[in-house]
Structure 1
Amino acid sequence: MFGWLKPDPVKKLRKAYDQKLEQAMHAQRNGDMRLFADLTAESEELWQKIEQLQQQQAANQ
């Protein structure tokens, strides 16, 4: 009944994912390839978590 009041974990993870990608872009532009690789790897982990949560949500509906 009050499901719309619950925070959406996918939305929070997607925001963090977008921030990591933006940080990675800036690192790449500055020539810091090691930081770019690290941030890209972190963003891929976040994307996997997002996909898992979306699959769980789809299965529950």
Structure 2
Amino acid sequence: MFGLFKKKTEVEKLQEKYRKLLDEARALASSSRAESYKKYAEAEAVQDEIEALTKAADKEK
């Protein structure tokens, strides 16, 4: 119940965005390959951001 008011971390927000982009890319794969590849590229960039943030967080510990 208390999780309702908990704010999402930056990593959680990026993970949600990553999942959304992958879903969109998969949906586009059957209709437009070029658009699908663009979405996959966006998702990959978001994944790189997630990795950078987690590495930075690990270094701070």
- What is the CA-CA distance between 1:52 and the residue it aligns to? 0.1
Q: Distance in 1 between matches of 2:59 and 2:33?
A: 39
1:56 match: 56
Calculate the aligned-residue CA RMSD, in Å: 1.3
1:18 match: 19
Q: Following superposition, which runs of at least 4 residues in structure 1 exceed 2 angstroms of deviation?
A: none
Residue type at the aligned position of 2:58: A
2:35 match: 35
- What is the CA-CA distance between 1:7 and the residue it aligns to? 3.9
Q: How many residues of Structure 1 are paired with residues of Structure 2 in the alignment?
A: 56
Identity %: 23
> Any unmatched runs of 5+ in structure 1?
none
Deviation per residue, 1:10-44 (Å, 9 max, x gap): 00000000000000000002x20011010000000
> Any unmatched runs of 5+ in structure 2?
1-5
Q: Distance in 2 between matches of 1:6 and 1:59?
A: 23
